[in-house]
Structure 1
């Protein structure tokens, strides 16, 4: 059974899924022409070239895939795998007032009377998972970008320092990190000096991870930072890549019908190295745990209540 960690009562608003807001957790894959953001907020255009005898536009490097299994204790090699997840809609519970604290990442207004015409329901986040040595890309199939009755939530959290994590469970979390070899010999000590007496280098050699996108670098052994957990709503025009080691909820479909996702990642078949889970258990004095507030209009379309495109945005 997965380990558990206590969590406070905390309520999370829904944000618009964009590359700028999601960048610390991974990448968003979308055709810029179909972005829900206005052109003035989309950022620089991606690199693209003409393809297929001029009948197509090839957009380059749309996501960042990482295979970090060389850091796994077993050293068992991984291979690229492609699976399909058929994700049924999740059950939401009716809204009720709460003294839960808001997530601390943004400056938000949680006035319980300020709902406009939206209906509010609640989604309880009971478990988070991570894939410590691989990115994981979810590609929805058959979901229109203009779908009004079915969407999906992308729920992610930063990683706490390992020292803070050990205070929350009775053992260190099962996230292996590479062992650092102690260098005590005279030659090794001089080799670490800068400038180097052997090469005249003024700076230490770059880490093997510097070439990776920040979201794809190892996150360390820490538990999820629940005070900074975030929730995004995605359209059918968007796929998402979780960076290696990024804490995230299992895919949460909300609406009327299932969504088929093609999922691309690396795996080596060692369970604890491929996927790690943590159960979120409300504190004994908490009236609820981690909850996403899902506001929708009369047609069932999710309304964004935080961040870019909030309040007035209709996805």
Structure 2
């Protein structure tokens, strides 16, 4: 049975996908020439007899399955997801009706990043929009006062929490539970996995991407399944590690609608080119 979590009804604002805003959740993969000027480009070298620029280490595919309870070894996996446009519903706005997408389910891969790379798409093709919907991770349980005074390189959950996360047994150690730096004598590397807590649905964020952008969800990052909102299917090459243990490879949480009978939602100001243009403002 999939765990569930209640959420108030609220509108999730759309943001443009760029590395600065997406950094707490993972990595944006794109040609630095198309990135915002404020983005620091990765290191590069000349390649292909001087005809190409090779950008180094644009994202990380780390393997944290040695932290999994089963200890089953994981292997790198390369799949292709061909994602159809998602059904949208009409939503009333002051000037009329706009399409909206309801966020009803989140998932995460606690021991591996997951890299999505769209293929065969043009940067400005109006039919290649997709949404990247993510949420921070809540702490598994409030730490006791004595825990807060410990000097450790990662936060330590209460060993006897009053309300245990359904994924507590799949806890990766060490871990970071939120977008804020943990109380520690030194910060964790940004690629370390998130903790075992449930998603913080009140802080859901939605980014709009175009066909020239790939995305890496950091290990343990709560995210919605891919949401294509353009006119055509979008094919993604997807890279990750997996060990064939279901609850260690993928964990899901259903979002239960609030008393109004509705879910958190993203309002789209248009499909295709209109969405892309407004996202760049």
Give the counterpart of 2:78 among 75, 79, 82.
82
Unpaired runs of 5+ residues, structure 1, are: 98-111, 165-169, 181-203
Give the counterpart of 2:165 among 172, 175, 178.
172
RMSD between aligned residues: 2.7
Tell me the distance in 2 between the aligned counterparts of 1:172 and 1:62. 33
Unpaired runs of 5+ residues, structure 2, are: 143-162, 175-183
Task: Please name the residue that 1:73 is paired with.
Answer: 69
CA offset digits 1:102-134 (Å, max 9, x no partner): xxxxxxxxxx45x9xxx7211011100000000
Q: Post-superposition shift, 1:147?
A: 1.1
Tell me the distance in 1 between the aligned counterparts of 2:185 and 2:7. 40
TM-score, length of structure 1 as denominator length: 0.74
Tell me the distance in 2 between the aligned counterparts of 1:23 and 1:270. 29
Is contact 2:111-2:172 (8 Å) kept?
no
Q: Post-superposition shift, 1:205?
A: 9.9
Q: How many residues align?
A: 254
Tell whether 2:205 aligns with 1:230.
yes
CA offset digits 1:165-188 (Å, max 9, x no partner): xxxxx86222422589xxxxxxxx
Q: Post-superposition shift, 1:300?
A: 4.7
- CA distance 1:7–1:57, shift in 2 (3 Å): same
Tell me the distance in 1 between the aligned counterparts of 2:172 and 2:11. 36
Is contact 1:134-1:245 (8 Å) kept?
yes
Task: Please name the residue that 1:31 is paired with.
Answer: 31
What pairs with 1:41-120 in structure 2 (closer than 5 Å)?
A: 42-97=38-93, 112=94, 120=98
What pairs with 1:1-315 in structure 2 (closer than 5 Å)?
A: 1-35=1-35, 37=36, 39=37, 42-97=38-93, 112=94, 120-163=98-141, 172-175=165-168, 176-177=170-171, 210=188, 212=189, 214=190, 216-283=191-258, 285-296=259-270, 300-302=273-275, 309=280, 313=281
TM-score, length of structure 2 as denominator length: 0.83
Q: Post-superposition shift, 1:46?
A: 2.2
CA offset digits 1:201-249 (Å, max 9, x no partner): xxx9979xx4x3x1x2121111111111100011111000000000000
Tell me the distance in 2 between the aligned counterparts of 1:179 and 1:96. 45
3-state SS of the aligned residue for 2:260? Answer: coil
Is contact 1:13-1:294 (8 Å) kept?
no
Is contact 1:295-1:304 (8 Å) kept?
no
